[in-house]
Structure 1
Amino acid sequence: MRRVLLRPLPACSALVLAASCGWSGAADGDGGRAPGAPTGVTAAAGSATSVHVMWNAIPDGPGIRTYEVYRGSRKVLEVPGSEHMVDVTRLRPSTLYAFTVRALDTDGRLGPPSREVRARTPAVVAADRSAPTRPPRPAGRAVGSRAVHLSWGASRDDRGVVSYDVLQGGVKIHSVGGNQTATMITGLRPGTRYVFTVRARDAGDNLSPASARVRLATPGTDDGRDTAPTGFTATTHRSAGAYYLDLSWDPPHVDGVITEYQIRLDGTTATSLVWGGDPPRGRAHYSFYVGRGPGTGHRVRLRARLPDGTWGGFSAERTVTTGAGR
């Protein structure tokens, strides 16, 4: 399988990780309504030089263009409106930081700041090359069609565990502080099987081996139709004596950013297409080499890796022939 990396992957994937609360915002001078203050904001040190900040999606009102993350009174990051978590890096060890988050809507209205949350980075440890032990006794249970509760035993480390990463399908979807050994994961799909693992991280950014797998299934039904790319088209073109397959599609509407697609060609996986944290807005396009011979038929379809770490439904399958109509 050929893996195409177009841009560096972001430090973490977006996922709503707590129940959202409504807000009735104030109207602006034009009679519109600015977005509310983000709720459920948390901050936890990820290492001696980074803090992981998360917040709830704003569920109602105008579309959110970006979220602005502030360290004290200074804006340090902007993330797309579909993302709800970020790692603030290049911080100083042994320092207390305060963070707030504000939402900017698609009409340019900036909402009020969230409540302030604080996190202290641990002291840096020189030449710390010893990773924490594997988190023991992981367990979990579904608590609804879109949420699960996970727990695990504390890892051991010679200098102390700073944080735990929760992964689904090899994708980091959550992070908690080193003194926390349980968490709730929300924003999942009903009727879906999940496999979670947990890894511990110390102040030197050393990662433990992954825990044993926790296999859970959310109740309900989901045929994948709502998570499949739509408007999928496939054509071919010839360049320098070779034929290429040209794909176009509209990404599925999900709560989070889609950075990876799997392309199936003639019933097998042909390539994995990966974008970074800011993939193209709207309709996506991609071309790849399929051979030099004319008159060759191909069947193609694709699916997205969703922010919860699972694969979504496949698009409609298209059939194309190299050199047809050219």
Structure 2
Amino acid sequence: MRDVPAPAVPRRYRCALLCGALVLLTSCGWGAGGDGAEGGLPGVPTGVTAAAGSATTVHVMWNAVDGVGTYEVYRGGTVVKEVPASERMVDVTRLRPSTAYAFTVRARDAEGRLGPRSREVRATTPAAVNDGSAPTSPGDVRGRAAGSRAVQLTWSAAKDDRGVVSYDVYQGGTKVHSVGGNQRAAVVTGLRAGTRYSFTVRARDAADNLSPAGAAVRLTTPGSDDGRATAPTGLRAASHLADGAYYLDLTWVPPRIDGTVTEYQIHLDGRAATSLVYGADAPRDRAEYSFYAGREAGVTHRVRIRARLADGTWGGFSAERKVTLGAGP
């Protein structure tokens, strides 16, 4: 991030956050989009599940819906969480022990229109316990590819003096899935062919104590991925002068993938120069960004861009463009 000597300056028409560190945005419950709704509304989220994660939390997951900006998670008739389109899971917290809850999910598109509610799913939190001891790590963690876009993980039970309520699956350092304490397997989908992944599993008890991670499982999905399907397209680069300094002006078309891309990495002259992270208003049809490039005219730069995908990996690079500071269009 220190290759560019001054902070990026976003244009007025785009509000974005320039980060010094990359933010991993991953999700679980990837899958096919929901059924389309009438009148062009977002589809109905499918595959919705809910399971207690502790005495005060419930983990809700669902499949992707095409063309959404955010998801709304409801407890009964009340919105309790709003989730960006790049995610398909959420932990609903601050619940009561020994209580039954009902959850539904709705998709909201970029224009703010809400689709129909998903089917209702129910989960009951276990009784509260006074427990300061975390479970042991899950043992014998193993994994295998289940096609080119999914992996199946298995493990042996962790031990806890009050009992394990749930198991959390992590991809790298990010939680991507959760199953009940009586399960010893999980399937993580929405992955890329020919890509190396690392997974760990942690156990959670009713008091929300989390175990250390079990042994990491590292595996590569079969097949190949040349990156073209996940690369931004239509990249254009120009420059403009403002207050004695030159700025690079980029426009591109986001890749057509499940969900919305909320993070990009810009490479300048073969090295990472800056990261761009959007919120819920991430562009879907055309993205624009401008950043500081120096004060010397006539310098030629090479620029390309790539997107952070829903599975936490980087997609393919766009075509590289050359731009000379101060040159005409």
Q: Distance in 1 between matches of 2:250 and 2:275?
A: 14
Q: Is 1:139 matched up with 2:142? A: yes
Q: Is 1:42 matched up with 2:49? A: yes
Instruction: Identify the residue that residue 89 of structure 2 maps to in structure 1.
Output: 85
Residues 171 and 274 (structure 1 numbering): CA distance in 2 closer, same or farther, change over 3 Å?
farther
Deviation at 1:140, TM superposition (A): 0.6
Question: Which of these residues, 223, 235, 250, is aligned with residue 232 of structure 1?
Answer: 235
Q: Is 1:14 matched up with 2:27? A: yes
Contact (CA 8 Å) 1:162, 1:202: kept in 2 or not? yes
Q: Distance in 2 between matches of 1:266 and 1:8?
A: 19
Letter in 2 for 1:5: C
1:196-207 map, 5 Å: 196-202=199-205, 207=210
Letter in 2 for 1:118: A
Instruction: Identify the residue that residue 101 of structure 2 maps to in structure 1.
Output: 97
Question: Which of these residues, 292, 311, 314, is aligned with residue 311 of structure 1?
Answer: 314
Letter in 1 for 2:299: T
Q: Distance in 1 between matches of 2:177 and 2:227?
A: 23
Contact (CA 8 Å) 2:22, 2:275: kept in 1 or not? no
The TM-score normalised by the length of structure 2 is 0.77
Q: Distance in 1 between matches of 2:99 and 2:166?
A: 16
Q: Between 86-95 and 259-268, report the one with greater CA deviation.
A: 86-95
Contact (CA 8 Å) 1:135, 1:211: kept in 2 or not? yes
Per the alignment, in what secondary structure is the counterpart of residue 59 of structure 2?
strand
The TM-score normalised by the length of structure 1 is 0.78
Per the alignment, in what secondary structure is the counterpart of residue 310 of structure 2?
coil
Deviation at 1:141, TM superposition (A): 0.7
Per the alignment, in what secondary structure is the counterpart of residue 256 of structure 2?
coil
Residues 8 and 53 (structure 1 numbering): CA distance in 2 closer, same or farther, change over 3 Å?
farther
Q: Any stretches of 5+ residues in structure 1 without a counterpart?
A: none
1:182-201 map, 5 Å: 182-201=185-204
Contact (CA 8 Å) 2:260, 2:284: kept in 1 or not? no
Question: Which of these residues, 240, 244, 255, is aligned with residue 247 of structure 2?
Answer: 244
Letter in 1 for 2:74: Y
Q: Distance in 2 between matches of 1:125 and 1:242?
A: 61
Deviation at 1:83, TM superposition (A): 4.4
Deviation at 1:226, TM superposition (A): 0.6
Residues 48 and 303 (structure 1 numbering): CA distance in 2 closer, same or farther, change over 3 Å?
farther
Q: Is 1:114 matched up with 2:107? A: no
Q: Distance in 1 between matches of 2:55 and 2:159?
A: 18
Q: Distance in 2 between matches of 1:112 and 1:223?
A: 37
Residues 223 and 286 (structure 1 numbering): CA distance in 2 closer, same or farther, change over 3 Å?
same
Q: Distance in 2 between matches of 1:241 and 1:157?
A: 64
Letter in 1 for 2:142: A
Deviation at 1:167, TM superposition (A): 2.7
CA distances 1:94-138 after superposition (whole Å, capped 9, x unpaired): 433221234567795743540422241662758x4x655443322
Deviation at 1:186, TM superposition (A): 1.5
Letter in 1 for 2:246: Y
Deviation at 1:275, TM superposition (A): 3.4
Q: Any stretches of 5+ residues in structure 2 without a counterpart?
A: 3-16
Root-mean-square deviation (Å): 3.7
Identity of aligned residues (%): 64
